[in-house]
Amino acid sequence: MKRSLVFLGCALVAAMAVPALAHAFGDEIVVGFMVPLTKKGASYGVQSRAATEVAVEEINAAGGVGGRKLRMITKDTEGDNALAIQLARGLIEKDHVLANHGPQWSAEAEAVFPICERSKILCFSPTSTKPGVSAPYSWAFRNTVDENVLVPQTLKWVKEHYPWAKKAAILTDVKDAYSKSLGHDTFRPQLKQFGIEVVEDVDYLTGDTDFSAHITKIKAKSPDMIAVGGTWVETANMMKEAQKQDLRVLWVGGVGMGNARIVENAGLAAEGAVHNATYDKDATTEMNQSYVRRLLAKGPNETPHWPAANCYDAMKMLAHAIKVANVTNTPKTLEADRKKVRDALATVKDFPALTSADAKITIVDMVNGKHAGDAIKKGTLIQVQNGKATALKMR
């Protein structure tokens, strides 16, 4: 009896010493999903989670991935780089995920991509758009076109339709990596390239709410337009302050401006604002209408936005890559399976998708012998017209 008790005790100790696996490999495919659900970025992240859940539900309803159910382990990054690093390590080393869907923000991507590179696991960011973020890391990919491609398209349209816009001011969020890059590194040289003089350049910080001094400084230079290197949250407050000071300008932004809440918050002050995106929420395709119905069933009070649609497409592409990779899905083959998935995603071409004006996405692995990791998509210009974000017809 004593011998049996000793044996049982040893077995229990041994069992406790072995970390529990997050899943029974053979029965399900598990991927990590990193998204800001609270604090910074929650206004994008909550709907992005719902959209990604819609994608997983559709994938599983259609038979899963090679007959296995797809499951995502969701982690709230809070928009915090240090936390994103911690969560990424947990997903890789403790949860043993096959691949990572995320992170979302460019700053988070810059922090997490090196972790994934060292761990040899795919990180597929659905929304980061700062130029060149994925280039240094062969395991990093993005379901986005960076702002160096989109901004020139926007400014070309502005020059054609607003020829009187010859002087611009730039407002840049220097606390955020994406915004700082957009304002200082993209808008500044591109405006000059299109013959638009930059007459003022003002910085602000994420979370600022009082823009009276910023707008007063800009108004003194009498610009025709304001280019915003930032997201919709602060931009809406800038617009209201400009209206208060009777500063009438054309507002131009990057993809960060793409949220219907900017109209809800700024009202008439947002009228005419234009930005480039890759998703048209009003597209009449069967794919988009089905997606919107399913998305609104989860959050009926939200207007569909581009980050959520990007997340949906990214999960669909990731599932496709896993299926093409034909993974064994065992603990012993995890390292090899991760490599197969990475290589399969790199070959995705003309994938049916929401977030491209021609409904096709191609992932680019290499350009001139160097890793790129970005997507090829056809952009869509969005302008606020009569209080509504409207997709513009491009020539």
Which residue ranges make up each domain of the chain? 25-145+284-376, 148-277
> Which of 20-24, 92-96, 284-288 has the weakest average pLDDT?
20-24
Buried b (16+ CB within 10 A) or exposed e, 120-147: ebbbbbbbbbbbebbbebbbbbbbbbbb
At 260-313, the pLDDT tens digits run 789 989 999 999 999 988 899 999 999 999 999 999 999 888 889 999 999 999
Q: Give the C-alpha separation, 244 to 240, whole Å.
A: 6
The yes or no reply on domain 148-277 and CATH 3.40.50.2300 is yes
Q: Given a cut of 60, is residue 43 above it in pLDDT?
A: yes
Cis peptide before 131 (omega within 30 of 0): no
pLDDT at 25: 84
pLDDT at 205: 94
| Mean pLDDT computed over every residue of the chain | 92
Q: What is the torsional sign of CA 281, 283, 284, 287?
A: negative
Q: Given a cut of 70, is residue 105 above it in pLDDT?
A: yes
pLDDT at 142: 97
The single-letter code of the amino acid at 329 is N
pLDDT at 10: 45
Q: Is 36 exposed, middle or buried (0-12, 13-18, 19+ CB in 10 A)?
A: buried
Topology agreement, domain 25-145+284-376 and domain 148-277: yes
pLDDT at 258: 82
pLDDT at 300: 85
pLDDT at 77: 97
Q: Given a cut of 60, is residue 1 above it in pLDDT?
A: no
pLDDT at 15: 40
Q: Given a cut of 60, is residue 382 above it in pLDDT?
A: yes
At 189-223, the pLDDT tens digits run 999 999 999 999 999 999 999 999 999 999 999 99
Q: Give the C-alpha separation, 222 to 341, whole Å.
A: 53
pLDDT at 22: 53
Q: Given a cut of 70, is residue 20 above it in pLDDT?
A: no
**Of 150 and 260, which is predicted with more confidence?**
150
User: If you classify domain 25-145+284-376 with CATH, what class do you get?
Assistant: alpha beta
Q: What is the torsional sign of CA 173, 177, 178, 180?
A: positive
Spatial neighbors of 293 by CB under 8 A, at least 6 apart, are none
Q: Given a cut of 50, is residue 352 above it in pLDDT?
A: yes
Highest mean pLDDT among 1-10, 24-33, 86-95, 142-151: 86-95
pLDDT at 24: 60
> Which of 228-237, 327-336, 362-371 has the weakest average pLDDT?
228-237
Q: What is the DSSP string of 131-153?
A: TTSSTT-TTEEESS--HHHHHHH
pLDDT at 17: 39
Q: Given a cut of 90, is residue 242 above it in pLDDT?
A: yes
